[in-house]
A and B are shown apart, each in its own frame.
Chain A
Amino acid sequence: MKRFMAFVKKEFLHIFRDYRTLIILFGIPAAQILIFGYAVRTDLTNAGIAILDNARDEVSAELTHKLEASEFFEVKYNLGSYEEIDPAFKQGKIKAAIIFPANLGTSLAREGNATVSIIADGSEPNTASLVTAYTTAIINDYSAQLTRQVSQGMPVINQEVRMYFNPNLESYYMFVPGVITLILILITALMTSVTIVREKEFGTMEVLLVSPLKPWQIIIGKVAPYFFLSLVNVIVILLMAWFVFGLPVKGSIALLIAETMLYILLGLSIGIFVSSSVQKMENAIFISFLALMLPSLLLSGFIFPIENMPKIYDYVSMILPPRWFVEIIRSIMIKGAGFAYIWKETLILVIMTVFFMALSARKFNVRLGEGEK
């Protein structure tokens, strides 16, 4: 046991001596929190639009004014003709062109209806649908005012909305749990697999194996520092989220930490598994990067909700640990849900952890057998 402790101490020293990696390890979550908190927004502000006003009457002027006044849009051009729309799109300056028909005011007064056209730049579908939705909402509001003027005393249905969990509709509520998930995969799976494979590639693993330490002790000694580092990192992220954005943990912190530890364990066992399957560091990096980083970024539901994806991704993403962990951490942090709501996800993570641990334990022994030849 004393030998083991000495070994663990050596591993800790190894990591803490490498200050560059440490800076980056704490720099990544800090940068991500700031980027997601302040820069990356899924909503829309200041989208450039162009207006083609064929009507030039009171109604079109009023609508233009309403569009200008909203924080969503910035009117960049007042176009003279339909032909000017295409070049404006091609330069990428505007996201949509709004066309008022020549007889807007008169047909509204006489026939009671008129049609405003929106042409949106479909090459950015998300922006296009947001621009269309917001423009439509502004025009509908104006339209509703007109309706109210003539239909005084008519029954009008009111709607009251309460935005649960995120009353100010901030984008970062989605992102903070995602950042934690991403960072943990990075530190646990990627870093451990790289360190272990490194020992193999340089041949120092052989040296360790002939030492009186048992193989499992070596592995535990290797991953223990990363367990510790991950935990510290999560706490730093949670504190940042709290102090920078005022986003506290709504649910039980003890539960959150316990679930995080489970996820770290899972990440570490995946890391050990990867390292037992490959011989070269480059390969370990690529496997971890391709099989772990990109899917956890894109397929875990952290930025893109899974329910909007084609059905098959719903099934494929089930084998990705981040998918379940994002769900867990989002429920605890933001919704304040208790264990009763997340036991299923937790159970899946437990099963995955056991599976990878068993697998890498077997693999590791096989490799040892070869080494004895």
Chain B
Amino acid sequence: MRKLLFLLKKEFRQIRRNPFMARAIIAVPLLQMLILVPAITFEIKRIDLAVTDYDMSPASRELISKLSGSSFFRIIGAAAGQAGADQLLLSGDADIVLIIPDDFSEGLAGFGKPTLQVLADAVNATSAQLGWNYLVSVVRDYNRDVIISSGLAPSAIPGISVSSRFWYNPDLNYKYYMLPGILVILITAIGLLMAGLNLVREKEIGTIEQINVTPVKRWELIASKVIPFFIIGLFDLALGLTVGWIAFDIPFEGSLLLFFACAAIFLVAVLGLALFFSTMASTQQQFLFIAFFFVMIFILMSGIFTPSESMPRWAQQFNLVNPVAYLMRINRMVMLKGSGFQDIARDMGALTILALTFITLAIRAYRKRA
């Protein structure tokens, strides 16, 4: 036990002595929180709409003013014919081009079926679809108005309206959504990269040999490498949370204790992985690539940016062994919805099993070479 204390002292001293490390421990969470959290949003603020009006009638002008009156669309001018429309979409100046045919007002007056043509830039499939949905609903409203004002329709046209509310985050503030996710990336990066690099570094510069010939036991060596980063990880989590709270006023509905307990279990899992990967690499560069490879897969699959329910079955099954996916879910539920222990007990249990498995694997793979 005393040996472990000495080793820990050595590790902390080394970390403190490296000015870069000290700065990274403070600067990384600050930068991530302050720069990345406000940036990330899927919210569509405005759609640049070009309108080609071949009709030039009061009716078409009315429709255009309806569109420009909606908060989603910004009319950026007219496209000159098909070629002009193509060019606007190619250059990215317009997201959607709307073509109003020359028989639009005639058709509305009851002599035919006017057809609007919509050309949407669909490179980003989601925004194309949402833009199209908005456009359809504006045109439908306009159509209803026309029918009612023409006096052709019976006084009441049956219609179902929809009212929507958002719980836990009424304004759909993306910062509330991203902050718990970025916190997970933060402690993953610290746990996996920093701890792993530290271990491989000793291997690469040969000092591990020196430690190996001392009477230090295997578990003591491993513990001395893991514990500092466990502490740093929790410290950075607290720091990130505080920054988020001060800078973005992020609510915290659930139990802090539960939150940190889950993070601690997660850190054990990640440190186990770091240790395991470090046994596979002999240089820091190699470790970096192995770690990067897995971190990237874990993070992208975890549902940080995209709904994980939309993923195919095999991907969801992969997430059963993905610690990042569990913490991503737990963090959001505890922070935003105030989910309690019972709500997340299954996820927590699974995470614990993962942590134990990874750390056991790592210790077995780690050979103290004589």
Contact = CB atoms under 8 A, between A and B. Distances in A.
Contact of A155 (B114, B122, B333): B114
17 contacts: A87-B343, A90-B333, A111-B156, A115-B161, A120-B167, A124-B332, A128-B169, A137-B136, A140-B160, A147-B144, A155-B109, A155-B114, A157-B107, A160-B118, A162-B120, A198-B283, A337-B91
A122 B300 CA distance: 21
Contact of B124 (A39, A46, A174): A174
A310 B159 contact: no
A108 B158 contact: yes
Given A119-B165, A159-B139, A173 B123 contact: yes
Contacts of B7: none
A282 interface: yes
Given A25-B289, A121-B167, A304-B39, A169 B123 contact: no
A122 B170 contact: yes
Given A42-B306, A144-B140, A286 B153 contact: no
A151 B332 CA distance: 47
B139 A166 contact: no
B228 interface: no
B36 A41 contact: no
B159 A147 contact: yes
B197 interface: yes
Contacts of A109: 158
B42 A304 contact: yes
B113 A309 contact: no
Contacts of A104: 160
B116 interface: yes
A217 B340 CA distance: 62
Contacts of B4: none
B65 interface: no
Contacts of B121: 164-165
B157 interface: yes
A286 B39 CA distance: 21
Contacts of A92: 329, 333, 337, 339, 343
B228 to A, nearest CB: 15
Contacts of A36: 300
Nearest to B44: A308
A303 interface: yes
A137 B133 contact: yes
A132 B163 CA distance: 9
Nearest to A198: B285
Contacts, number: 371
A167 B129 CA distance: 11
Interface in B89-146: 89-92, 107-110, 113-130, 132-133, 135-137, 139-140, 142-144, 146
A162 B318 CA distance: 36
Given A147-B158, A157-B139, A280-B20, A173 B125 contact: yes
Contact of A118 (B89, B122, B164, B174): B164
A254 interface: no
B301 interface: yes
B122 A31 contact: no
A219 to B, nearest CB: 18
A215 B44 CA distance: 50
Contacts of B44: 308
B147 interface: yes
A143 B122 contact: no
Contacts of B46: 307
Contacts of A35: 297, 300-301, 315
Given A39-B311, A125-B174, A285 B28 contact: no
A124 B130 contact: no
B152 to A, nearest CB: 6
A365 interface: no
Interface in A79-130: 86-87, 89-92, 95, 104, 108-109, 111-130
Contacts of A341: 90-91
B116 to A, nearest CB: 5
Contact of B147 (A31, A113, A155, A281): A155
A341 B87 CA distance: 9
A19 B145 CA distance: 69
Interface string B23-44: 0100010011000101111111
A286 B119 CA distance: 44
Given A126-B177, A307-B45, A121 B168 contact: yes
List the 4 shortest-distance A-B pairs measured between CB atoms, nearest first.
A112-B156, A122-B169, A122-B166, A163-B122
B160 A118 contact: no
Contacts of B193: 285-286, 289
B285 A115 contact: no
